[in-house]
Amino acid sequence: MIQIIDYSPTMAHQIADLFHASIHRVACRDYTAEELAVWAPFPIDYDHWLERLNRKQPAVAVDSNETTVLGFAELDPDGHIDCFYVHPDHQRRGVGIALMQAIAEKAEEIGLRRLFAEVSITAKPFFLQMGFTVVRPNLAARGGMLLKNYIMERFCQ
């Protein structure tokens, strides 16, 4: 069973590993090795992740024992979904849907009218399934490279 819980600093290492695994094992279908290397470089900077996650306070999907992080999502106060990642071993098992529902509930709770994100080629079908529309194609600068993604949005009910 999937549970959505509040972030705790003890999860930072697992979340950083999940981010890198998701990009290098899933997004590799749509991006080159060079693009993946600038998007999620090795070695992983765990101090950076701890600082970022402490600041962002993401929603975290965990297993029923609350021991394994299955995914995480960051919602900024303006409705921007900054990070939205599911572990490669838990894709297509409802984790993303549970995270998106948690994001939508939080958006409603704080009175947001619109959610938006820069969505990878890989994640675009999922975001479309979740009711997002493409605003426009985008190029994200990472490590001197431009990575193709999409600006997508969804209006809250």
For 123-150, write each residue's pLDDT tens digit: 999 999 999 999 999 999 888 899 999 9
| 62-85 per-position pLDDT tens digit | 998 878 999 999 999 999 999 999
Question: What pLDDT, on the 0 to 100 scale, is given for residue 64?
Answer: 82
Residue 17 lies in a domain: yes
Which residue segment(s) compose the domain that 97 sits in? 3-112
**Number of domains the chain contains:** 1
Domain assignment present for residue 117? The answer is no
Is 92 part of any domain?
yes
> What is residue 143's three-state secondary structure?
coil
CA distances from 152 to 102, 112, 129, 130, 131 (A): 18, 16, 12, 11, 10
pTM beyond 0.85, yes or no? yes
Which domain CATH number covers 16?
A: 3.40.630.30
Q: Is residue 36 part of a domain?
A: yes
Which residues lie closer than 8 Å to 4 by C-beta, 6 or more apart?
59, 60, 61, 62, 98, 99, 101, 102
Beta bridge partners of 154: 115
- Has residue 36 got a pLDDT over 80? yes
